Amino acid sequence: MQLDIITLFPDFFTSPLHSGLLGKALAKEIAKVNLINPRDFTTDKHHRVDDEPYGGGAGMLLKPEPIFAAVESLEIIGKKQIILMSPMGKPLNQTLLKDLASNYQQLIIICGHYEGVDERVSNLLDLEISLGDFVLTCGEIPALALINGVVRLLPGTVGKEASLKAESFEEGLLDYPQYTRPAVFRGWEVPEVLRSGNHEAIASWRREQQIERTRTRRPDLFHKWQNVSSC
């Protein structure tokens, strides 16, 4: 997969893209990341990428010309999505990550800044994505979350693909509690069922824990799961 990131701060990605599973996946060329700075496509001597909003208001907006030029400079290699990271976008979830990882060969991700982008940039877009109902200082943070979430789903990134099928949100439920050695730590014991060797009992306990944990911690997800499972 090709990931083209339109960003005013390419250095933001330097360490994360070389760390952990994401760094290993990129080193194995499971995915390729291309960082593009819109400043390189400005035509004035000051390389301005922002300006005051028409009608007044606080803050500055990203101008459309450098963003259009940056996107249009890219080679299209396959089925693509042009995405703007925006608090007004579609909430990022596991279903959306799986769709992007499975159905597209190229993601072009635009990182917003300042008070946002000129509305005419929307004519470029296939999708706007948000991490949630809050505001960050830059679009690079949610872009990195999107990149991480997509790349980890690509074949070869995670060593045991079975682990992808038994994690939070795959069935609309949170993950079950997990434990490792020692069996007793500061008086807290690992549940006996997990030490029993009875795989059927363990599977049953884990399922019960998933349902109860989701019910108490994320009632919104629990009700959605109930509705789906009752159909």
Domain assignment of residue 161, yes or no = no
- Tens digits of residue pLDDT in 143-177: 999 999 999 999 999 976 645 555 556 688 999 99
- Domain span holding position 174: 167-229
Please check whether residues 86 and 137 belong to one and the same domain. yes
pLDDT at 83: 98
Residue 178 CB-density burial (10 A; 0-12 exposed, 13-18 middle, 19+ buried): exposed
Give the gyration radius of the chain's Cα atoms: 22
Would you say residue 204 lies in a domain? yes
pLDDT of residue 58: 83
CA angle 203, 205, 208 (to 5 degrees): 110
Residues 184 and 105 in one domain: no
Q: Which of 106, 123, 151 is the last residue of a domain?
A: 151
The pLDDT of residue 124 is 97
Q: Amino acid letter at 163?
A: S
Q: Are 144 and 180 within one domain?
A: no
Over pLDDT 90: what percentage of the chain? 85
Mean pLDDT of the region 94-102: 97
Q: How high is the pLDDT of residue 28? A: 96
How far apart, in whole angstroms, are the C-alpha atoms of residue 119 and residue 139? 16
The predicted pLDDT at position 163 comes to 57
* Same domain (yes/no): 174, 146: no
Q: What angle do CA 46, 55, 91 make, to 5 degrees?
A: 85
Q: Using CA atoms in the order 163, 165, 166, 171, what is the torsion angle rounded to 10 degrees?
A: 160
User: What integer pLDDT is reported at residue 168 of this predicted model?
Assistant: 56
Average pLDDT (55-78) is 95
Starting from the edge strand earliest in sequence, which strands make up the sheet with 127-130, in order? Answer: 32-36, 2-6, 106-111, 80-91, 127-130
Q: Are residues 65 and 142 in the same domain?
A: yes
Confidence at residue 175, expressed as pLDDT on a 0 to 100 scale: 93
Q: Do residues 176 and 182 make contact, with C-beta atoms less than 8 angstroms apart? A: no
In a domain, residue 156? The reply is: no
Six-digit token string for 193? 């069922």
120 in a structural domain: yes
Structural domain ending residue among the three candidates 100, 116, 151: 151
Closest C-alpha to 98, from 152, 46, 20: 152
Q: What is the pTM of this model?
A: 0.88
Q: What is the dihedral of CA 66, 68, 74, 75, to 10 degrees?
A: -160
**160 falls within a domain:** no
Strand pairing of 184-185 and 188-189? antiparallel
Res 77: pLDDT: 95
What 3-state class would DSSP assign to 65?
Answer: helix
The tens digit of pLDDT for each residue in 2-59 reads 999 999 999 999 999 999 999 999 999 999 999 999 999 999 999 999 999 999 888 8
- Are residues 213 and 108 part of one domain? no
Mean pLDDT computed over every residue of the chain: 93
Higher pLDDT, 214 or 160: 214
Estimate to the nearest angstrom the gap between the alpha carbon of 169 and the chain centroid: 14
